[in-house]
Structure 1
Amino acid sequence: MTYSSRMFPENILASLFVAGFVTVLLSVADARPATFLQDFRTTWSDSHIKQLDGGKGIQLLLDQNSGCGFASKSKYLFGRVSMKIKLIPGDSAGTVTAFYMNSDTDQVRDELDFEFLGNRTGQPYSVQTNVYAHGKGDREQRVNLWFDPAADFHTYSILWNHHHVVFSVDEVPIRVYKNNEAKGVPFPKFQPMGIFSTLWEADDWATRGGLEKIDWSKAPFYAYYKDFDIEGCPKPGPSGCESNPKNLWEGSGYQQLDAMASRRYRWVRMNHMVYDYCTDKQRYPVTPPECMDGI
């Protein structure tokens, strides 16, 4: 597959530039050093995680011996987290690179997932998102990325507030999970979540449902991370932080998608979505109630 900016509408590209510029301006006031060891710790296979550029970036490695993973030192209740990631180039079939939030509470866990599913050379990379609330998951959606995510770094972010959860790629929303508690749909709002990332082998399901197996002759596989950004209410932390309406992520501009963000979101769903649990009648003969709410 050939990736090109022509795959993305020119007016959206222009808007992305403006949005990115505004984001930079807004972030200056809250700027703080963002090195790996300030906010994160290794959780799995320290020998497979290497710090780069004085700890401002890291390299994750997967080989036949092990994958690896890391997690935030704190948990957060609501906020916005983002990382820039450069995924495994070439033949990455059977690999999964994940960036997610998790309450780490077993049967009643809350979890917000980005899972980047490796591919055979020349095929588009898919990103799978999932939402667990009060222990209930199985809400997978998959999108084929419209660019080569292994050629350069791209920003992946999760916005989590009282109104919705928004998964974004380079400020383009690719998934919105609204707070539909009024319809009896669980929404994650009670349990703080940590921030995690892992790189591992999952060739029993990751690429074409497990048809494409990992080619260990291409190992080791590398993924790169930098520009870690966490804005949220740490737990334990200041009392009442999570209910403060003045928090940036609770502001009016974050309570719903604006007109431009809605157009980007529809563009992604119409042109790049390849699986949506909402339309899978074999799994869900009765459409889940949250799926009937639209954008």
Structure 2
Amino acid sequence: MKNSRELGVQYPSKPMSIYGTIWDASSWATEGGKYKVDYNLAPFVATYKELVLHGCLYKPNSDGLGMADDVPIMKEIYSNCELQDSTNDSPIFDNFLSDDQKMGLEWVRKNFMIYDYCVDSPRYPHQLPECQRDLKS
């Protein structure tokens, strides 16, 4: 998702880490509880193969924003990681997905996505700011 300061959902400005957990949300996240967890199939194991995460390493500079300019490969890949103004014109996203890729992403969403909190009006009666943005924009 693009940096959207004007919506109140801007990128974090502090270092982040990744933490994962598996929990049972089948009462609400599977088409209103249509699909229940079968605990007879336990243990449940999730693995990642060749997982690649792209992001900017946080290195504060005078304005509190920064990039990993001391790591050559990161500098080459993410030379435009500094957070810019709220106009969403950050070069890292300008050509992030082509029109064909956006269409492919939309196809996957329509055919494989089971739960989308952006359309869960019983749970979120007021649409969240990031959900107001069109996927194609």
TM-score (norm 1): 0.30
Which residue identity lines up with residue 126 of structure 2 in the other structure? Answer: V
1:180 aligns with 2:4: yes
SS of 1:178's equivalent?
coil
Q: CA deviation at 1:238?
A: 7.8
Q: CA deviation at 1:272?
A: 2.4
Q: Quick one: structure 1 residues 288 and 247, their matched pair in 2 at CA, closer, same or farther if it must change by over 3 Å?
A: farther
* Mapped partners of 1:253, 1:234: distance in 2: 14
1:266 aligns with 2:106: yes
For 1:280, the equivalent position in structure 2 comes to: 120
User: CA offsets, 1:76-96, max 9 Å, x none?
Assistant: xxxxxxxxxxxxxxxxxxxxx
- 1:178·1:290 contact (CA, 8 Å) conserved in 2? no
Q: Quick one: structure 1 residues 229 and 283, their matched pair in 2 at CA, closer, same or farther if it must change by over 3 Å?
A: closer
For 2:86, the equivalent position in structure 1 comes to: none
More strand by share: 1
Identity %: 33
SS of 2:18's equivalent?
strand
Q: Which runs of 4+ in 1 moved over 6 A?
A: none
Q: CA deviation at 1:232?
A: 4.5
SS of 1:241's equivalent?
coil
TM-score (norm 2): 0.54
For 1:168, the equivalent position in structure 2 comes to: none
User: CA offsets, 1:113-141, max 9 Å, x none?
Assistant: xxxxxxxxxxxxxxxxxxxxxxxxxxxxx
Which one of 5, 9, 13 corresponds to residue 190 of structure 1? 13
SS of 1:227's equivalent?
coil
1:211 aligns with 2:36: yes
What does 1:16-35 align with in structure 2 at a 5 Å threshold?
none
Q: Quick one: structure 1 residues 286 and 190, their matched pair in 2 at CA, closer, same or farther if it must change by over 3 Å?
A: same
Q: CA deviation at 1:181?
A: 1.4
- 2:9·2:129 contact (CA, 8 Å) conserved in 1? no
Question: How many residues were matched structurally?
Answer: 110
Q: CA deviation at 1:182?
A: 1.3
Q: CA deviation at 1:292?
A: 2.4
Q: CA deviation at 1:192?
A: 1.0
CA RMSD of aligned residues (A): 3.6
Which one of 69, 77, 99 corresponds to residue 248 of structure 1? 77
For 1:293, the equivalent position in structure 2 comes to: 133
